[in-house]
Amino acid sequence: MEIGPSCGADPQVCAGRPRPARPKAAWFPAALLLFTAVAAAQTPEAELLAGVALTNHGHFEQAIPHFLAARGQVPNSYVLEFNLALCYVGTRQFPQAINTLKPLPVNPRTSNLLVQALIGDHQEQAALKAFSEAAALTPYNESLYVLVSQASLDEGFPDLARHVLDTGLRNLPGSAKLHFQKAVLESQQDDAEAAARDFKEAQSLAPASEIAYIAKAEQASYAGRMEDVIRTTREGIQKGYQHYLLLTLLGEALLRSGATPDSPAEFNEAQAALEKAVAARPSYSSSHITLGRVYLMLGRNADALAQLEAARRLDPRNKAVYPPLAAAYQRCSQPEKGKEALAALAALNQEDAARTRAAEGGRAGYISGTKK
């Protein structure tokens, strides 16, 4: 699940415009200074600063104890509570996120995150109501439509995702990001013609932009044209774009094109791209999955297991994680956990089959609130 930006000290972040990922080399010295301050002073203010720094870099699980240590002891409780809720969503602790958000002032950031938390908690009707209220509050908030539609897709609510995107495009018809999101939805629903139109529209609305390269690469990926994916992502990266999706798409395409440790140039390029993607966005499960597969191929079984377990925590409904996770457990002499991973995959397949049968049986859309 993609989640909204932290509301730390950076005004661009608070305005809903995430800052570019800080280079890894710059992050670690800053982190060490913060943790040194926390260890030395152990003040609520130092705990809050450490939590915000970790949150801004996507390290949600590690940030939570710092916020809890400072809770109720710092003057700016909104910053703490919002960031804590953000971390709860990022670690899929949705009931805790909902309980943390509800007492906060209603504004675009809290409303957006509350909708995502309700979707994650599979409260579909409550999420629809909260989304309608949020969209009425800020009808031109692109981030609302992007993040809520992505959350809906992640949690298996394509009808809700379509409603969110249709609402967004009525208000923001010139949004390249929303056309891109709609193309992803249409691709997942095997509507190749509609997806091609929206991918093309995203590229035409923001030509030569980061989103244009991602849209072009995604379109080629859905069509199985791996050479086009590799060419497009390399071109975008050479232009200076380091978006985690571009990096992940490049790594995945290189592997799907046959890169192995026996072809070191392409394989090393895939590994480097995926490691950068994970560093840039630790909360994106697909990067962890593909990097885990790379480490399995290298025989780095403990590293592979760490990546794949992180991916499962982030997105337990992503079926792609379970086969390599089972293999990693086997290699790490944990066969029972391997069997549990395969059982979880079977359960997800059964859920999808049941959902398909229900859809084929016919039912009215949830938006009308009726069922056949």
> Which are the contacts of 91, defined by CB distance < 8 A and separation ≥ 6?
60, 61, 64, 313
Q: What is the CATH number of the domain that holds 184?
A: 1.25.40.10
Return the pLDDT at 255. 97
Return the pLDDT at 38. 54
- For residue 54, what are the domain limits? 1-7+30-104
Q: Are residues 87 and 140 in the same domain?
A: no
Q: Are residues 90 and 167 in the same domain?
A: no
Percent of the chain topping pLDDT 90: 76
The residue-averaged pLDDT of 138-160 equals 94
pLDDT per position as a tens digit, 213-231 = 999 999 999 999 999 999 9
Domain count, the chain: 2
In a domain, 225, yes or no: no
Q: Are residues 64 and 150 in the same domain?
A: no
pLDDT of 24 higher than 60: no
Percent of the chain topping pLDDT 70: 85
pLDDT of 87 higher than 60: yes
For the ranges 14-23, 30-39, 40-49, the lowest mean pLDDT is seen at 14-23
pLDDT per position as a tens digit, 235-281 = 999 999 999 999 999 999 999 999 999 999 999 999 999 999 999 88
Q: Last residue of some domain: 152, 182, 207?
A: 207
The residue-averaged pLDDT of 5-29 equals 36
Q: Are residues 142 and 96 in the same domain?
A: no
- Average pLDDT over all residues of the chain: 87
Return the pLDDT at 1. 54
Residues in the chain: 372
pLDDT of 26 higher than 50: no
Q: Last residue of some domain: 192, 207, 222?
A: 207
Return the pLDDT at 20. 33
pLDDT category of residue 361 using cuts at 50, 70 and 90: low
d(CA 256, CA 67): 41
pLDDT per position as a tens digit, 43-79 = 999 999 999 999 998 889 999 999 999 999 998 899 9
Q: Are residues 135 and 190 in the same domain?
A: yes
3-state secondary structure labels for all residues of the chain? CCCCCCCCCCHHHHCCCCCCCCCHHHHHHHHHHHHHHHHHHCCHHHHHHHHHHHHHCCCHHHHHHHHHHHCCCCCCHHHHHHHHHHHHHHCCCHHHHHHHHCCCCCCHHHHHHHHHHHHHCCCHHHHHHHHHHHHHHCCCCHHHHHHHHHHHHHCCCHHHHHHHHHHHHHHCCCCHHHHHHHHHHHHHCCCHHHHHHHHHHHHHHCCCCHHHHHHHHHHHHHCCCHHHHHHHHHHHHHCCCCCHHHHHHHHHHHHHCCCCCCCHHHHHHHHHHHHHHHHHCCCCHHHHHHHHHHHHHHCCHHHHHHHHHHHHHHCCCCHHHHHHHHHHHHHCCCHHHHHHHHHHHHHHHHHHHHHHHHHHHCCCCHHHCCCC
In a domain, 71, yes or no: yes
Return the pLDDT at 31. 54
Q: Are residues 100 and 174 in the same domain?
A: no
In a domain, 166, yes or no: yes
In a domain, 72, yes or no: yes
In a domain, 167, yes or no: yes
pLDDT of 188 higher than 70: yes
Q: Comparing 280 with 10, which gets the higher pLDDT?
A: 280
Return the pLDDT at 249. 97
Q: Are residues 91 and 160 in the same domain?
A: no
In a domain, 263, yes or no: no
Q: Comparing 297 with 354, which gets the higher pLDDT?
A: 297
Q: pTM of the predicted model, to two decimals?
A: 0.76
Return the pLDDT at 355. 76
The residue-averaged pLDDT of 96-117 equals 96
pLDDT of 32 higher than 50: no
In a domain, 257, yes or no: no
pLDDT category of residue 17 using cuts at 50, 70 and 90: very low
